[in-house]
């Protein structure tokens, strides 16, 4: 039964690659014209709107060939946007509907519920100079890591690393790194307790 299922998945991935090939060709062409980032953002907006199971497979095929890393088993739901092609999705990752992801590395089997936002760190825009518009002050992109097996609840905003196996409650704002195997919540997010006995101290 498992062998049959895996064969069906492989066939579905192959069919999805064929179906999404025109989008990939369009992306590769426009990368030469307008640059890699601009072409990526336009193409990923298009594939984000593909509905149903075919859409999931087609997104996977597109992202596997455009992100810095995307395991074939990663599942990216409807309406997910990426701002940075340097993002990485590990094996078994789930990204829920309408997430917005920047420069992020999501570890194996991590789960992002719907509406999670992971910008490229907390300093994407500087705002120190009152005489210069914020858009002209530049910023700093930082890779945010969400650890293996972590679970980030709906609507959370993650600006700093989340440890392996850690749970972030819905609606939380992570402004400082969270350790492994804890439950965290709040604005800003704070460690509430270890996930289970024997976990590291917070």
Does the structure show a pLDDT above 80 at 30? yes
**Tokens representing residue 77 in the block:** 């739901």
For residue 202, pLDDT over 60 is answered with no
To which residue do tokens 């996930």 refer?
A: 195
- Residue 198: predicted pLDDT: 54
Taking only the tens place, the pLDDT of each residue in 57-73 is 999 999 999 999 999 99
Q: What is the CATH number of the domain that holds 148?
A: 2.160.10.10
**Paired tokens of 49:** 């709107």
Tally of domains in the chain: 2
Give domain status of residue 200, yes or no: no
Domain shared by 56 and 111, yes or no = no
Report the half-sphere exposure of 97 (CA within 13 A, side-chain side).
Answer: 7
Tell me what pLDDT residue 2 has: 81
4-8, 127-131, 172-176: range with highest mean pLDDT? 172-176
pLDDT tens by residue, 68-87? 999 999 999 999 999 999 99
Q: Per residue in 32-47, pLDDT tens?
A: 999 988 999 999 999 9
Q: Which residue, 66, 88, 123, sits at the end of a domain?
A: 66
Which residue, 38, 66, 94, sits at the end of a domain?
66
Q: Is residue 90 part of a domain?
A: yes
- Residue 155, token pair as written in the block: 């609507």
Is the per-residue pLDDT at 199 higher than 50?
no
Computed on alpha carbons and rounded to an integer, the radius of gyration of the chain in Å comes to 18
Domain that holds residue 91: 74-195
User: CA 124 → CA 104, 118, 139, 147, distances in Å?
Assistant: 13, 11, 5, 22
Query: Based on the domain organization, do 186 and 104 belong to the same domain?
Result: yes
Model's pTM, two decimal places? 0.90
- For residue 152, is it within any domain? yes
pLDDT tens per residue, range 134-144: 888 878 889 99
Burial of 128 (0-12, 13-18, 19+ CB in 10 A): exposed
Domain limit, last residue, from 66, 84, 111: 66
> Annotated catalytic sites, by residue?
125
Instruction: Check whether residue 124 and residue 37 sit in a common domain.
Output: no
**Within a domain: residue 202?**
no
């Amino acid at each position: 039964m498992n062998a049959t299922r895996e064969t069906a998945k492989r066939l579905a991935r192959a069919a999805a690659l064929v179906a999404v090939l025109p989008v990939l060709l369009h992306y590769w062409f426009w990368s030469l014209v307008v640059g890699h980032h601009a072409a990526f953002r336009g193409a990923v907006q298009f594939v984000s709107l593909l509905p149903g199971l075919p859409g999931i497979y087609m997104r996977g095929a597109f992202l596997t060939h455009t992100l810095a890393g995307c395991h074939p088993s990663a599942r990216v739901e409807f309406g997910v946007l990426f701002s940075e092609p340097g993002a990485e999705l590990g094996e078994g990752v789930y990204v829920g509907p309408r997430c917005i992801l920047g420069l992020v590395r999501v570890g194996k089997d991590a789960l992002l519920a719907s509406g999670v936002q992971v910008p490229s760190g907390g300093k994407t825009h500087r705002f120190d100079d009152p005489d210069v518009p914020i858009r002209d002050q530049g910023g700093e992109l930082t890779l945010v890591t969400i650890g293996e097996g972590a679970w980030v609840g709906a609507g959370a905003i993650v600006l700093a690393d989340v440890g392996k196996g850690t749970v972030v409650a819905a609606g939380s704002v992570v402004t400082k790194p969270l350790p492994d195997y804890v439950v965290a919540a709040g604005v800003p997010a704070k460690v509430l307790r270890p996930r289970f006995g024997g976990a590291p101290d917070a």
